[in-house]
Amino acid sequence: MRTMTSAEIVFVVEEAPEGGYMARALGETIATEADDLDSLRRMVRDAVACHFDEDERPRIVRLHLVHDELLAV
């Protein structure tokens, strides 16, 4: 059981190689994936709700979108 509640949890969101998006939480063992960003938002909310007891759940979920782009020079 956790004794300290964080007000915020941060997920790093990246494009999956096979398509869609992957999200993983920083500092927690939570990961999920989905075909599009709207579905990913729902999956992240559900994963957070399943991972934490209601009284320990962070109030804010921050999605940090990482986009790699290659430029020819």
pLDDT digits (tens, 9 = 90+) for 9-27: 999 999 999 999 999 999 9
Compute the distance between CA of residue 42 and CA of residue 66 in angstroms, rounded to an integer.
Answer: 19
pLDDT of residue 61 exceeding 90: yes
Residue 6 in tokens: 């964080």
pLDDT of residue 59 exceeding 50: yes
Lowest mean pLDDT, pick from 11-15, 41-45, 65-69: 65-69
pTM of the model: 0.85
